[in-house]
Structure 1
Amino acid sequence: MRHLLLVTLVVVLVTGCSGAVAQNADHSGGSGPFTFVTGRDTTGYLQPLIDRWNQTHPAEKATLLELPEAADEQRAQMVANLQAKSDRYDVLGLDVVWTAEFADAGWIVPLERGTFPLDRFLPSVTDTAVYRGKLWAVPYTSNAGLLYYRKDLLAKEGFNPPTTWAELRKQARVLHDRYGIGGYAGQFLAYEGLTVNFAEAVQSAGGQILNRDGTQVTMDTAKATTGLDFLVNGLREGWIPRESLSYKEEESRLAFQEGRLAFARNWPHAYGPATTSPIGRKFGVTRLPGLDGPGSSSLGGINLAISAYSKRQKSALEFIRYFTGLENERRVLADGSFPPVWAELYDDPALIKRFPYLPVLKDSLLSARPRPASANYNQLSLVIASAVSNALTPPFDENSDDVVTSMKGQLNEIVRAR
């Protein structure tokens, strides 16, 4: 079965490499109403921001098209549209790991660096929008995983927020036993979220999966096995609830804010809704724990790009300039709890007063690692998510070392096929 999956992935990879990278783009024409397509807004912050643009640009109104919540499903719908060379999508909200693939296929157009104040953005976020030396998108939001915890329950038990896996395991088990709630959960359904959670576990054990440009598998088997065992043992021992195997971001957010979890790994956007949830202000956030100390998140976020088939490229470009500007980025944080890309906003006293987690988030972002800028990232992610899902599924009869060894072999074959 695994061999069949690998063969299928390699065929998809080889047949998908025929796209040519676009070399030039003309943004001088093409004004008028346009569409902005991105993943589903689960917080309700996005449409009001678009309405502000529409009020001052009545001849260039933006229409929001929301795709499913899961990144895999978003990508599938975007790819289908772009492969058909449809002009329905104008501005694309891309997961940061899609830049290389979409540029390599010729689906998005290059942008002029000087058009945007990139030097005022967080270090490293601009790199997620660059491929083969060209800027293909503009960072809109950044992202790093955080550990949400029930500070009221930790205080009752005399615990400090955990900084290591051993501390997390101990506290999660105690809180599970004494309060009848799940100990810890992340995003463990077999999709891109599971790839991210596994990558963070590997990084937090001192390893990595691929090099920065995605051309070489650099995974240390022992460290990757340690990271995988952290998750497997949590499920086997029961402090990670088995229902979390069906969790994406939204399911894990709801489980935590409804009081069904003591700890949860999630993105910063979960902070705002939690403050008005049944647990109110009884929670805190900290960096993800690791093997021997604070761990390392995967760098996430959304970049805005222009479809190569858009007939409204001038309006699309102006919208991106506006939407990634300083004042709109402030609203992205204030109204949506999404991490902005402007570095100075993380040091704003008024924002820190309202969002006390900003210093922790800044540290998490600076210590986060970007995912590989690989045109075949989707195939790599599918292999990882499938292998890790098998290991996490009861009755846990797969040896973690064997899973990692097999996964490494499949990743090598995909990278070499490229």
Structure 2
Amino acid sequence: MRTRLLAATLAVLACGTAEARTTVTIACGSVGIEAELCREGAEAWAARTGNAVSLVSTPPSATDRLALFQQLLAARSGDIDVFQVDVVWPGMLAEHLVDLSEHIDRATIGAHFPALVSNNTVSGRLVAMPWFTNAGLLYYRRDLLEQHGRPVPTTWAELEETARTIMQAERAAGRARMWGFVFQARAYEGLTVNALEWLDSHDGGRIVEPDGRITVDNPRAAAALTRAAGWIGTIAPRGVLTYGEEEARGVFQTGDAVFMRNWPYAWPLANAEDSPVRGKVGVAVLPKAEGGRHTAGLGGEMLAVSRYSTRLEAAVDLVRFLTSAAEQKRRAIRGGFNPTLAPLYEDAEVIAANPFFGELREVFMAAVARPSDATGARYNQVSAAFYNAVHAVLSGDAQAGPALARLERTLTRLRRGDRW
């Protein structure tokens, strides 16, 4: 079964010299410049070490890629040595991954953002090294804020008032399609991230805390969701209930929204030559609640080594090279990938390519992680229960308090006694 799966799904391409001592196989992302940059980095490592690298072409869908990795690892296959893993996968795959803290020195590990190191540490084992990161950001129409004499909002109340005021003024001027705020509210993983940002900015917890406690049923979390539900049909279109990242970007980039929550990838697209809002967009940290804190949902990709690799030393060295400062700098400049090393946010060449990196360094350093570390293999079920409950509140089908009480009971049933 595993052999047929690999034959049908994977195309393995070799880099390096025929006389190489060791061939390491790595599974990277397979779309666009992500695959290209991985290949370039792997080839550079091969040339430096005299080893060789085989790149595995994986499915473009993260869901399909995870399923493939889970099948290979469950079979204890050594066919892939190094895996590119999503930020929420370490807890699900941890039992099959090498503890990199036993192979990479503490100073090298400690140079990466603490939130990512913590996210990748499962039961005291560092199962993946940070490679690049993402965090949720607030995009805004700089020209409209200037035109209407409004500062960039720092609280949700300020965003609501500014969004409403500018939306109404623009509609009165004939732009009937203008909305105040768009974000990701479809019932999917993106809503988990958005809603976690709302909770954290209200000091409403992480759904499940790092020690495994279920804390989602609390008044501050309920207040956060009640506030967000109030946006639907007022400053946000009802259609936002079906929006993912690209739907939100489509509305914002066509000029029909004042504010947007999205990931950093939207920046070069919003400023592309054919973008209607080119040169009119600003980026800021997401708002906070009164008395709360600024926050951002953590995203990104990591590199992990399979426990079943027969080329452990070389595989770890490849991970060490690809996650190094020099390689992360190259990827940031060429592809806009956010580094996981703080000094690169002060590097002149990196900032020239990505102007908002320096201003928002603290956002990327302190982003809030989804509770995949605490919930492990059950994270997908936890996330689905959470985003479905949130979607019911946003849709008006449930009140926040009762919905969160039901959610906590569901999560308690998912947890096996006092353990996940």
- TM-score scaled by structure 1? 0.82
- Structure 1 residue aligned with 2:279: 281
Q: What aligned pairs does 1:129-144 form with structure 2 within 5 A after superposition?
A: 129-144=120-135
Matching of residue 61 in structure 1 with residue 53 in structure 2: yes
- Residue 183 of structure 1 aligns to a residue whose secondary structure is strand
- Structure 2 residue aligned with 1:110: 99
C-alpha deviation, 1:187, in angstroms: 1.9
C-alpha deviation, 1:362, in angstroms: 1.3
CA distance in 2, matches of 1:357, 1:119: 24
Aligned residues: 382
CA distance in 2, matches of 1:311, 1:397: 53
Matching of residue 182 in structure 1 with residue 179 in structure 2: yes
C-alpha deviation, 1:136, in angstroms: 1.1
Q: Is the 8 A contact 2:128 2:303 kept in 1?
A: yes
CA distance in 2, matches of 1:289, 1:67: 35
CA distance in 1, matches of 2:333, 2:134: 15
- Structure 2 residue aligned with 1:218: 215
Deviations 1:273-316 (A, max 9, x none): 22213321211111111221653122222111123344554443
CA distance in 2, matches of 1:131, 1:72: 21
C-alpha deviation, 1:212, in angstroms: 3.9
Q: Is the 8 A contact 1:34 1:315 kept in 2?
A: no
1:232 pairs, out of 209, 229, 232, with: 229
Change (3 A) 1:54 1:152: same
- State the Cα RMSD in Å: 2.6
Percent identity between matched residues is: 31
Q: Is the 8 A contact 2:217 2:404 kept in 1?
A: no
Change (3 A) 1:114 1:313: closer
- Structure 2 residue aligned with 1:371: 370
CA distance in 1, matches of 2:86, 2:243: 19
C-alpha deviation, 1:184, in angstroms: 1.5
CA distance in 2, matches of 1:352, 1:408: 43
Change (3 A) 1:220 1:401: closer
List runs of 5+ in structure 1 lacking aligned partners. 1-28
C-alpha deviation, 1:218, in angstroms: 2.1
2:389 aligned partner, one-letter code: A
Q: Is the 8 A contact 2:112 2:342 kept in 1?
A: yes
CA distance in 2, matches of 1:383, 1:355: 36
- Structure 2 residue aligned with 1:120: 111
CA distance in 1, matches of 2:102, 2:284: 34
Change (3 A) 1:218 1:150: same
CA distance in 2, matches of 1:33, 1:220: 47
1:245 pairs, out of 228, 241, 247, with: 241
Change (3 A) 1:31 1:96: same
CA distance in 2, matches of 1:240, 1:76: 35
- Residue 379 of structure 1 aligns to a residue whose secondary structure is helix
Q: Is the 8 A contact 2:189 2:387 kept in 1?
A: yes
C-alpha deviation, 1:386, in angstroms: 1.5
- Structure 2 residue aligned with 1:9: none
- Structure 1 residue aligned with 2:413: 413
CA distance in 2, matches of 1:236, 1:351: 40
Q: Is the 8 A contact 2:333 2:349 kept in 1?
A: no
C-alpha deviation, 1:139, in angstroms: 0.6
The 4+ residue runs of structure 1 with deviation greater than 6 A are none
1:337 aligned partner, one-letter code: G
Deviations 1:130-176 (A, max 9, x none): 12222211111122211011111111111111111112112222333
Change (3 A) 1:145 1:77: same
Greater Cα offset, 157-166 or 273-282: 273-282
1:267 pairs, out of 263, 274, 277, with: 263
